[in-house]
Amino acid sequence: MPLRLSFGRLLIAGLLAGLIAGVLAGTFAYFAGEPRIDAAISIEEQNALAHGEAGGGEELVSRDTQKHVGLILATGLYGIAMGGFLATGYTLLRRRLRTGSDTRAAFGLAGAALVGIVLVPFLKYPPNPPAVGDPATINQRTISYLAVLALGLVAVWAGVLAARTQTHEWRRATAGLAGFLVVVTVAYLLLPTVNEVPATFPAVLLWKFRIASLGTQAILWTVLGLAFAGLLSRLAGSAANPAVTADTTVTADA
């Protein structure tokens, strides 16, 4: 049976799970992504010197502070936000999910978010390190990214709806995949293609940065799903204990 808890308790569980996931994802990003960012910044500085351009001036926040403090703080806050998002989604959609397992429901929602929020946008607009991208097109790139993110979630939902039209397991999987791919294909065709990577930028560095970025997101959502599911199990156990405690108290008083 689905777990019946107040939204407040679910939200706290989601926020706590998000904090755990954000810290672990930030730790991975520190070791896997920060060296690539340092290398990209070095390339940007060398290009500026080669063109006789002055440096960017005094930094409001030093690079060391960004790397050693800001990164974990940012991923922690992002994880908390996504934890709240997951808890809200769980609260709204739990009754629509055709499973009696709260653990499976929580982890399934986290997996759906990973596909819709991370994987679909990544394949269309993979992230770029510093020194890549024209500042003049940042608004266009932001709008395009938000559009593909929203369409990624629509694609996941379309896949779920398509899967529910079938009864046999393999047909559900086929229909779900087809519904998902149709929406993604249409989205990719309609949205503009953006490629501002200079031909001189090292391809190996670019892809190592992108893989590190994808790995950070994968860790965040995987840990978030597992942690949230684990906290739900603990809440289910604690929800059953008060009745036992009350019975014990009544017996003792008698």
Q: Is residue 116 located within the same domain as residue 188?
A: no
- Over residues 87-141, the pLDDT tens digits come to 999 999 988 887 778 888 999 999 999 999 999 999 999 998 877 777 778 888 8
Is residue 179 within a helix (H) or strand (E), and if so which, with residue range?
helix 169-190
pTM: 0.86
Stretch 34-58: mean pLDDT? 75
Rounded CA-CA distance 98/96 in Å is 6
Is residue 161 within a helix (H) or strand (E), and if so which, with residue range?
helix 138-163
pLDDT at 252 exceeding the cut of 50: no
pLDDT given at position 250: 37
pLDDT given at position 65: 85
C-alpha distances in angstroms, 233 versus 1, 33, 85, 159, 240? 12, 33, 19, 28, 11
pLDDT given at position 1: 46
Cα 85 to chain centroid, rounded: 10
Contact 83, 17 (CB under 8 A): yes
pLDDT at 242 exceeding the cut of 70: no
Q: Is residue 25 located within the same domain as residue 96?
A: yes
pLDDT given at position 52: 63
Please give the share of the chain, as a percent, with pLDDT higher than 90: 61
Residues contacting 39, CB < 8 A, separation 6+: 129, 205
Q: Is residue 93 located within the same domain as residue 212?
A: yes
pLDDT at 246 exceeding the cut of 50: no
Q: Is residue 58 located within the same domain as residue 126?
A: yes
Token pair in block for residue 199: 């031909």
- Over residues 54-74, the pLDDT tens digits come to 555 556 678 788 888 899 999
Q: Is residue 57 located within the same domain as residue 16?
A: yes
Closest CA to 221 of 126, 83, 15, 123: 83
In a domain, 224, yes or no: yes
Q: Is residue 25 located within the same domain as residue 63?
A: yes
pLDDT given at position 165: 93
Stretch 226-238: mean pLDDT? 89
**Structural domain harbouring 167:** 141-196
Q: Is residue 106 located within the same domain as residue 56?
A: yes
Band of residue 239 on the pLDDT scale cut at 50, 70, 90: low
Contact 189, 48 (CB under 8 A): no
Contact 41, 66 (CB under 8 A): no
In a domain, 1, yes or no: no
In a domain, 25, yes or no: yes
Residues contacting 240, CB < 8 A, separation 6+: none
Band of residue 248 on the pLDDT scale cut at 50, 70, 90: very low
In a domain, 2, yes or no: no
Highest mean pLDDT among 37-41, 45-49, 53-57: 37-41
Q: Is residue 177 located within the same domain as residue 111?
A: no
Question: Residue 57 half-sphere exposure, CB side, CA atoms within 13 Å?
Answer: 1
- Over residues 171-230, the pLDDT tens digits come to 999 999 999 999 999 999 999 988 888 888 899 999 999 999 999 999 999 999 999 999
